[in-house]
Amino acid sequence: MISMDALNEVLRTLHLKSTVSCRSELSAPWGLRVPHFPGHAGFSVVARGSCWLEMEGEKKQIALAGGDFVMFPHGSAHVMRDALGTRPVNIETLVGSHNSSHKSLSLSYGGGGALTTLVCGCFEFEGGETNPLISALPAVIHIKGEEGRAVPWLETTLQYLASETASTLPGAETVIGHLTDIIFIQAVRAYISSAGECKRGLVRAMALDRPWHSFTTLPSNPGQLPRWLCGWACRGPLSLPGSGNWSASHLCST
């Protein structure tokens, strides 16, 4: 099992810098293209309806239903639309047309057909691109809903988020920031809990006080880190540059 102290230690290294939240009422046909946002993480929740998700550079298409949650830890480019044949519009063009200076938006877009509601968020963490936890996460985390609703831990947080997004009270943006911070942590925790033993061992490795920057074999592409590090976790003891007598067996717990 993963030590919660280890997870807490890693999560303490993340500091939320900014948050933008958006509730989108979309009517078919509709399609949104989200470009790559380096150093940012984003999430989308299907509050109503259904849609398709396609990650840039991948052929796989993911069907999303009501209550489904997806998070993009690396701010990876993707497309969300009502049907695979619908032509998407760039989200920056759509958001820009609303001329809003606020960090919480409400959008309406589409052709007037079947409705889909998305609750989305985008946030930046200080040092996110170099943080080992962010680097170890996949391009997309998909947490399926239950009977058309978000899982309980997410639904409660989303209710507060929806309330604060519509609020005009002082401090609403600060509350929104903390709520999206909670969503990120909950999603990471859910992903780790459902991952294989070696991936769960990544958290233990990240929590260790080790000179990661001195490892000469670190991959340049953060997306390669999970398989690379997980490979170490499942082998015997290794001698790593700058790590002394550290064994890769530390990566996996039993």
How far is Cα 8 from Cα 88, in angstroms, rounded to an integer?
39
Positive or negative, the CA dihedral 157, 158, 161, 166 is: negative
**Each residue of 123-160: pLDDT tens digit?**
887 766 667 777 778 899 999 998 888 888 888 988 88
Residue 224: CB atoms within 10 Å: 12
Choice among 110-114, 141-145, 173-177, 217-221 with the minimum mean pLDDT: 217-221
Question: Which of the pair, 95 or 209, is modelled with greater confidence?
Answer: 95
Over residues 225-229, mean pLDDT:
48
Q: Where are the domains of the chain?
A: 4-194, 197-251
Confidence grade of residue 214 (pLDDT, cut at 50, 70, 90): very low
Which string of DSSP letters, residue by residue, matches 236-247? S----TTS-S--
What is the third-level CATH fold of 4-194? Jelly Rolls (2.60.120)
Q: Specify the pTM.
A: 0.76
pLDDT tens across 186-211, in order?
Answer: 888 888 877 665 555 555 555 454 44
